[in-house]
Every structure is written in C-alpha cells, then in structure tokens.
Amino acid sequence: MNSSRQWRHFQIISGEAGHCQKRAMDALAGEHALWISSAPPEGVEALPAEKISRLLGQDVTHLVFDALDAFHADAFAIASGLARGGGRFLLLTPPLAAWPAQYSQEPGAKSYFIRRLAHFCGNYQQLTPNLPVCGKPPTEEFTTREQREVITALETVARGHRKRPLVVIADRGRGKSSAFGMAAAKLLAEGGKQILVTAPRRNATNTLFHHAALALPASRRQHGLLEHHGAKLRFVAPDTLAEKRPAADLLLVDEAAGIPLPLLEKLLLQYRRIAFATTVHGYEGSGKGFRLRFARMLDKHRPQWKQLHLRQPVRWAEGDPLEDFTFRTLLLDAEPAVIPPGMDPGDLAIRQLSREELMHDEGLLRQLFGLLVNAHYRTTPTDLQHLLDAPNLGLWLGSISGQPVAAMLVATEGRLPTELQEPILAGKRRPAGHLLPLALATQCGFPEALELCCERVVRIAVHPSLQRRGIGGRMLDILRESAPDRGVELLGSSFGATRELVCFWRNNGFSPVRLGFRREASSGAHSVLVLHGPAKDIQTRSRKQFLDQFPLQLAEAFCNLEPSLVRALMQEKHMTAASLSETDCRTLHSFAAGGRQYLDSLGPLYRLTLQLLAGGAEDVDIFVLKLLQKRSWQDTAAALALSGKKAALAQMRQGVKAFLPS
C-alpha cells in the first residue's frame, strides 16, 4: 500500500465567505463531504460545530470545516480525527490578515488565539502550496503489529489471572477501538461469553462494534448490542454499570479519559476482568493529566496492571500534515519544561505574565500550557483559546532559574452594574464570567458580593517533579499580598472537592462556604466554593452559615459523600462547635458503657460529632455515616467493613469512650 495515498489532503482556503465556499465545492469536484458549518452553501447539509461530538467514534472521507464566522477549537480537534486517510480536509477561514480583529472579544483589539492560528495557517500555505491530489481512500482491512499485541493482551485479560487490568493508550487514528472490537469478536466466537463495553457516549463505541461485526459476519447487530450464537457484546452506560452491576466475563472501557475518575474507580473494583482505552493527547480532556491520576489509582488497587501504547497510525499515514497542524496549533502534545535535579523551591520567582509575552515566546506558551495539561486532566483546546483571549483572565508564572515551574490563572469578577443586580437576584439574569459573586449572592444569600471586586483562582498548576514543596501556597501568598494593590476585595476559587484539595485551600487561608448539590459530570465530584478576604466580613459570615447548614444537608444531598471529605470540609479551629452540657456528658458516658440506647442519646451524640469534626479528629467516620448522613446500620457497617449492626454499634460506643474525658 502506498503510504502517501493515506495522508489526508489538508487545504486551507482563506478569503470572503462566498469565495471560500466556491473554492471548496470546486475542490470536492462533486464528492460528498461532511460540512461543519453554521451557514453552509445553499443546498448543502451541515452540522453545527457545537454538535460535532455526536460523531465521535465515526470517520468520513471528506470534511469541510467552516471557520468563517467562528473558530471552535474543540470542534476542530474532533473534526481532525474524523477524516480518514486519502480523503480531503478543507479549512475555510476569513482573510488571514483581517481574521484576528474580526474574532476579538473586545472592540479595537485583536484575538491573540486567532493571531497565532492565522500565523500557522499562513506558514502552512507557504510551505505546502502544491500538495498532490489524493487518490481514492484505501479500503482494505489490515492490523498493525501493535494492534495484534493489544488483541493478544485482551485475550489474556479475559482468560488469564484476574485483577490484572489492561490499559491501552494512543493518539487518535491508531486503531485502539478497532483492536478492542476485533478482540471482542475472537472471544465471542468461542461461545457463551458476555462482554460489556462502556464509554462516555454510546456513539463513541461505533468503531468498536463495527470491527467486531466485520469479524463475525453471522452476528446480529442492533444499537449497542451484537449477538453471536448466544454470546453478547453489549453497551452499558458508565453510571448504569456502577449502579446495576451487571455480570460480565469482560468489561471494555473505551475513551476512559471522558469518564470521571471516581466512576472509573468503582468499575475497576467491581469488575475483575477489565480493560481501558484512552487517548494520549485528547480533546475531551488531556490524556496526560488523566494518565497521571489514573496510574496512581491503578497502582493502589491493581498493582499488576499492564499498559500498551499504540503509536503507528492506522487511519492515515505517518507524518500526516493535518495531524501535525492540529497538534502544533492546539498544543495537544504540550509538555512542561524538563526540570534538572536539585532545583531549590526557595529560589521561586513569581510574576504576572502578559499575553503579548506569550505570543512572542512559543516555547514558553507550550511549557505553560503543558503545566496546565498535567495539573488538570480536563484541559481542552478551548482552554488554550481562553488562556490567550479571555479578557478577564490574568496569568501568573512561577519560575526557578528561568524555568517555568508553576502557573496560576486568575479571573477578575464582580463590580456588577446596579441595574443588573436586581435581575440577577430575581434569577432573570446570569452574566457570564462572574461565578464567584453570583454564587455568593444567589446561592449563599450575600447580595453585597455583586458590588465587590473579586478574583477567582481558576487553576493552579505546579510541575510534577516539584509538587508538595510549598510552591502552590507561595503563589497564593503573592496573590493575597498584592490584592489590595489591584483593588481586590475578595479572593476565592471553585473546584471539584476532594479531601486533598480542600485541605490545601484551607491550609492557605481559604474557607469552604458552599458545596454544590450535584456531582459535576466532568470530575464526578461536588463543586466546592472557597473564600478568603475581609470584605464586609463575607468570609466569616458565609463560613458560619455553611457550618450551620452543612451537617443538616448531609442527610439529604450528601448522604453518599466520603466521610474523609466531610471531615476536611467541617474542620474549623477558629469557631466553637455546639458545646456539651453536663447532662450531655453523663448521657454519653452511659451510652459508651452500654447503659443507654442509641436513640436515647441522639442529641448528645450529634453535638459530640460536630465538636470532633471542628477539632479535626480523625477516627470519626462512623459518627459521620450514622449521625450526620443518617445511613442505615447495615450501610454503615458495610462502609466500615464491619459484620453488621452489632459490630457498628460497638465501634460507636468505643469511639465515644475514647473521645470523652474520663
């Protein structure tokens, strides 16, 4: 097979809309193409960029990406993975010189993101003006050596020792999903096997099912189901898997980086034969940051897990110009700086960074974005767009000996016009870019926050080799100390709550003041709001309100919250929890000795629990589970790996005895 015929024929067409669309139609020469456009030529069906995610797991021969009105970074990354080798990919843009001003978020300014993109487009047009016209796309099926290794490894997972998961990582177009499908077909052909497959969306498994069906011509296929002589390959959504726990001989998890880690952890513990596939440099969240956290989880629960890396492209040839352009412009392969050993965090220098400086230093931009990618596995190309263009986003850089080792993104919010405040409080308006003051006003009941100048820390990223050495805290120190110079009255942040993160922010002077009632789809965690600042005493008042309400909310919205997180959220050394009276103490002593029943001791037990949590006591999970979350004795015992109610009650009595003075 001639590998040059497997490149995508990538062409950038710039100019006025009508001119670009005519040139695109001429280039297609009557061939059918998928148009990603909000205003396609007359008679052409198109899909808006906002809906392109529904095509994940599919591929097309020819694709036209219309960026004449707007450029959607995530959509472009998805589109670049849809076009198969031998086909055409046409990018339509306004005149390159005028494009940055046309796309700017502020009058008279230029979009830095589009200015950079236009620069890459211009260079590409100059370097590759006469790419050869592609032949027909190759249609024959073949497997690479790496794919065959994956198939063999999956057979071992299904037949060999249990609790030895397989993790397959690859960039787009390397054939990981098709290898999963071919392996599933081999196992189904043996008869009797029940294989489950899951992914963030069912359509993301289309390639897997397609290749399984190709290998089993006699199989019967429906939406999300393939049957072969009684054996079944069936799609089940991740949350349904965790809740219903259907039996399976093997569970295949495709596009694992698109599923929250806590949910992946549940699946890992539930299924003893399981394999994961995920993208290294993805647009649904950074594969690199995901892999760091996922690997730690696997090491903890399944230390004998195995990883395979697919590097050879399958759907296009090595050196494909479209893939190279996408990686360069969207920084999909961005990495932090290589840090030499022996760096002293005491030499950390922190300063604000201008976008103009980033625009003139591509290496610094790549390293900065690489830090963000490593720190947060949900970093997407749109985050790069925001980094370069969001008008209210400030950048702080931490460096040692000139090497960037930390980054902090800070959004300026608040000072909302008086005429907006009433509609906001009435729930009729929710202006974008003001998360912190809006949450305080509408959810916490502090409308005066709308008038304050606030800064919200969007993200802190520290180089992996220098974490847990106080660098993140130093970044926050500088932000706090310099806040008055910028007229900032209140600092805060909002993030997916974990015990580790809550403790980090609390140790740096930020108090948790609200926990979101629903788990975020992206992280699988509840979002927590933290505050720092004396402005109108909002931090103190909102913290007191939280400590009053949160213990009661635990039995409602947060009955399944991890007790360790509850402890982190409620620890409060500067406030006095409900005190214990002499009568409370007598009741608790009697309960600990077995002379008083649990239900006759509820009030004192509840107040003791609040005191223990405020003081940072560690061994109090049974009190959180039973007294605050109101779980049944059976559920409480199961959560603590105890035999039942009797054992759980005995542990509670022993706990009361240990914490009460004799």
Shortest CA distance to 302 belongs to which of 264, 252, 355, 352?
Answer: 264
Q: Residue 536 has what pLDDT?
A: 76
288 backbone dihedrals φ, ψ, rounded to 5°: -65, -50
Shortest CA distance to 49 belongs to which of 32, 69, 30, 31?
Answer: 69
Burial degree of 136 (CB within 10 A; 0-12, 13-18, 19+): exposed
8 A C-beta contact, residue 404 and residue 397: yes
Q: Residue 135 has what pLDDT?
A: 42
Contacts by 216-224 with C-beta closer than 8 Å and gap 24+? Answer: 216/185, 216/188, 216/189, 219/188
How many Å apart are CA 467 and CA 481, to the nearest integer? Answer: 22
Q: Which residues of the chain register pLDDT less than 50? A: 1-4, 129-130, 132-133, 135-140, 285-286
Amino acid at position 526, single letter:
H
Q: Per residue in 581-597, pLDDT tens?
A: 999 999 999 999 999 99
Q: Residue 141 has what pLDDT?
A: 53
Give the CA distances from residue 565 to residues 500, 555, 605, 624, in Å, rounded to whole numbers and listed in that order: 8, 15, 20, 10
Give the pair of three-digit tokens for residue 225.
């189901």
Strands 194-198 and 220-222, sheet pairing: unpaired
* SS3 assignment, position 246: coil
How many Å apart are CA 87 and CA 89, to the nearest integer? Answer: 7
- Residue with tokens 């000072």, as numbered in its chain: 415
Strands 34-36 and 63-66, sheet pairing: parallel
For the chain, list the domains and their CATH numbers. 3-127 (3.40.50.11040), 145-310 (3.40.50.300), 582-659 (no CATH)
8 A C-beta contact, residue 252 and residue 196: yes
How many Å apart are CA 414 and CA 280, to the nearest integer? Answer: 38
8 A C-beta contact, residue 434 and residue 479: no
Shortest CA distance to 180 belongs to which of 201, 145, 203, 155?
Answer: 155
Q: Residue 377 has what pLDDT?
A: 60
Amino acid at position 591, single letter:
F
In this structure, how many other beta carbons lie within 10 angstroms of the beta carbon of residue 646? Answer: 11
Angle at 330 between CA 326 and CA 335, to 5 degrees: 110
Q: Per residue in 638-647, pLDDT tens?
A: 999 999 999 9
Half-sphere exposure of 436 (CA within 13 A, CB side): 30
